[in-house]
Amino acid sequence: MSTTDDEGRSLSIIYATETGNAQDAADYIARQCRRIGFQCRITSVDAFSLPDLLSENIVVFVVSTTGSGVEPRAMTPFWTNLLRGDLPPDTFEDLFFSVFGLGDTAYEKFCWAAKKLSRRLESLGASEFYVRGEGDEQHPLGIDGALEPWADGLLNTLLEISPLPAGIEITSANTLSPARVSLTATSQSAPELSDPLKSDLQYHAAVVKTNDRITAADWYQDVRHLEFDLEDNIQYDPGDVAVIHPSASSANVASFLSTMNWADTADQPFEISQSMQDQSLPDHLPKMTTLRILFTRFLDFNAVPRRSFFQFIRHFTSDELEREKLDEFLSQAGADELYEYCHRVRRTTHEVLAEFRHVKIPRDYIFDVFPPLRPREFSIASSVKKHPHQIHLCVAIVKYRTKLKVPRKGVCTSYLSTLKPGDTLLIGIKKGLIKLPAKNDTPVICVGPGTGIAPMRSVIEQRISSGSHSNTLYFGCRSASQDQHYGSEWHGYSSSQHLHYRAAFSRDGPEGEKRTYVQDLIRQDAEQIWRLVGEHKGWLLISGSSNKMPAAVKDAVAFAAEKHGGYSAEEARKYVDLMVREGRLIEECWS
């Protein structure tokens, strides 16, 4: 592949994401490609079809991974079509592609969706023109730790493929990129803060019915049970997720606007025009708005800033000492210092700007400097069969301390914690990863420690409402009396013979004794576990933290297969893998 025509100096960047990180990475890649004269088109994979791919020449895919190596939900239709057996091996013989994966090494199948996509495209004749990159959330600098050096290599390869035309020079990496929008003051009256989701049919009006703390009042963690009433005839399945757009508190917004010296103009309306089409904007963004509205609903000033934030603000400070410090942060030698200053203590964008007092951000650059305030997703903790017109959530309110004086708080969980009965909001519904067997008499084993209990409550309610008695729940927490979420419900179902309930309370044992976790109970119950998943072909559903728990649970099931199924250790592991391939073992886990 070697060309210098207009087509050869353009490419498409297709992103597939759950959290928005892939979209941010796609924006960064497009900015870098623009430096060497390439025109970029960015689109989400759910707006991109297989026939579209046939007409592409150069494509960069940016793909995150969910659950147990599963592609993002938005990518599922595209991926399903890509797996069609009738596609000839030369389907994409004219396609040159590269993939950057986003993942977390805390998960067992790191960047699995990106790896699968690379292999499948090559099997259909496409050529990988640049080596796959893999960003790790566990890196001290997050995804940027791998993205930036990978993007540098991508640019070099693109220049080899398509050298710079005469008269065009490479833009320095230190050059300020053009703003992605222009803001124009308008004489129209300021718009009211109406919810921009009202016109989106995927969202439903909800009224808060209950917002109760379900952990003990003196317990270190505040976990809430929330119930919402909805007029719409909503339908969802166990494992589906509720999508909630948070709002920053008015006090926090006012404080931030004061820090930025924008308080006097915070309510002056302006119109937004997109200048750079290869850069994304927040969803549901109105054409006319104010700074106060933007930083309440659309832009996140409480996020931990990425390196690109510091790259931008070094252009906007009038103080030489501040610029020197920012240059030091951005240097290769200063990476550790940036980590200590920012990422390790989870310092927010607002806090950084409060310290770098000479930074004056031009209004047109606010969408470049500040990340979108994206919606958050929570597993639904109820069955619509038992609770029609309702959605229940089980949410841990994020609040923790670092070396900084002010505690760190989650934007969305803080928003949810303030909701009172009668308050209204809009809630979206998305398909989850969990599925249920078609037959009610097929055994289902649910493993859901902590707030991983949320989708399991939905599963169990649905199964019991459908007449099933073959249900087992393994729940884990620290203390039976402090954080046993929905304990009275599980004991009630157990008494009525609808549920076999096993709970591990890791801190309730005698001091100094080995702690007991859900995987330990599964090993203790190995004979019964094998009877359910081996002899009766039962299903295993795992939800919760993605640290060591999911792998330990699968090891415990393999132990049961070896001890009571007559398998060798290797055959037992293969049996667990077979359960995954058959769809009888499903993980809905997060880091």
Task: Find out whether 137 is annotated in a ligand binding site.
Answer: yes
Task: Find out whether 185 is annotated in a ligand binding site.
Answer: no
Residue 392's DSSP bridge partners are: 227
Q: What are the start-end ranges of the E strands in 247-381?
A: 270-274, 288-289, 376-379
- Comparing CA positions, the residue from 495, 494, 446 lying closest to residue 473 is 446
Task: Find out whether 432 is annotated in a ligand binding site.
Answer: no
Give dist(CA 257, CA 259) in Å, integer. 5
Task: Find out whether 507 is annotated in a ligand binding site.
Answer: yes
Task: Find out whether 418 is annotated in a ligand binding site.
Answer: no
Task: Find out whether 21 is annotated in a ligand binding site.
Answer: yes
Task: Find out whether 67 is annotated in a ligand binding site.
Answer: yes
Task: Find out whether 268 is annotated in a ligand binding site.
Answer: no
Axis-axis angle for helices 487-495, 453-465 (nearest 10): 30
Task: Find out whether 471 is annotated in a ligand binding site.
Answer: no
Question: For the sheet containing 444-447, what is the strand order?
Answer: 500-505, 471-477, 444-447, 539-545, 585-590
Task: Find out whether 379 is annotated in a ligand binding site.
Answer: yes
Q: Phi first, then psi: what are they for 231, rounded to 5°?
A: -75, -35
Task: Find out whether 22 is annotated in a ligand binding site.
Answer: yes
Q: Greatest CA span in the chain, whole angstroms?
A: 80
DSSP state of 46: G
Task: Find out whether 395 is annotated in a ligand binding site.
Answer: no
Task: Find out whether 79 is annotated in a ligand binding site.
Answer: no
Task: Find out whether 413 is annotated in a ligand binding site.
Answer: yes
Task: Find out whether 66 is annotated in a ligand binding site.
Answer: yes
List Cβ neighbours of 101 (8 Å cut-off, separation of 6 or more). Answer: 63, 64, 65, 111, 113, 114, 115, 132, 133, 134, 135
Task: Find out whether 398 is annotated in a ligand binding site.
Answer: no
- Is residue 405 classed exposed, middle or buried when 0-12, 13-18 and 19+ CB atoms within 10 A define those classes? exposed
- Comparing CA positions, the residue from 7, 53, 14 lying closest to residue 30 is 14
Task: Find out whether 80 is annotated in a ligand binding site.
Answer: no
Task: Find out whether 290 is annotated in a ligand binding site.
Answer: no
Alpha-carbon Rg for the chain in angstroms: 26
Task: Find out whether 19 is annotated in a ligand binding site.
Answer: yes
Residue 474's DSSP bridge partners are: 447, 502
Task: Find out whether 590 is annotated in a ligand binding site.
Answer: yes
Give dist(CA 478, CA 531) in Å, integer. 29
Task: Find out whether 202 is annotated in a ligand binding site.
Answer: no
Task: Find out whether 534 is annotated in a ligand binding site.
Answer: no
Task: Find out whether 20 is annotated in a ligand binding site.
Answer: yes
Residue 15 near residue 42, CB atoms below 8 Å: yes
Residue 382 near residue 461, CB atoms below 8 Å: yes
Torsion sign across C-alpha atoms 275, 276, 277, 279: negative
- Please state the length of the chain: 591
244-283 burial string, b = 16+ CB within 10 Å, else e? bbbbbeeebbeebbeebebeeebeebbebeeebebbbebe
Give dist(CA 39, CA 36) in Å, integer. 9
Task: Find out whether 184 is annotated in a ligand binding site.
Answer: no
Task: Find out whether 262 is annotated in a ligand binding site.
Answer: no
Binding residues for FAD: 346, 376-379, 410-413, 590
Binding residues for FMN: 17-22, 64-67, 137
Binding residues: 17-22, 64-67, 137, 346, 376-379, 410-413, 451, 506-507, 515-519, 590
Binding residues for NADP(+): 451, 506-507, 515-519
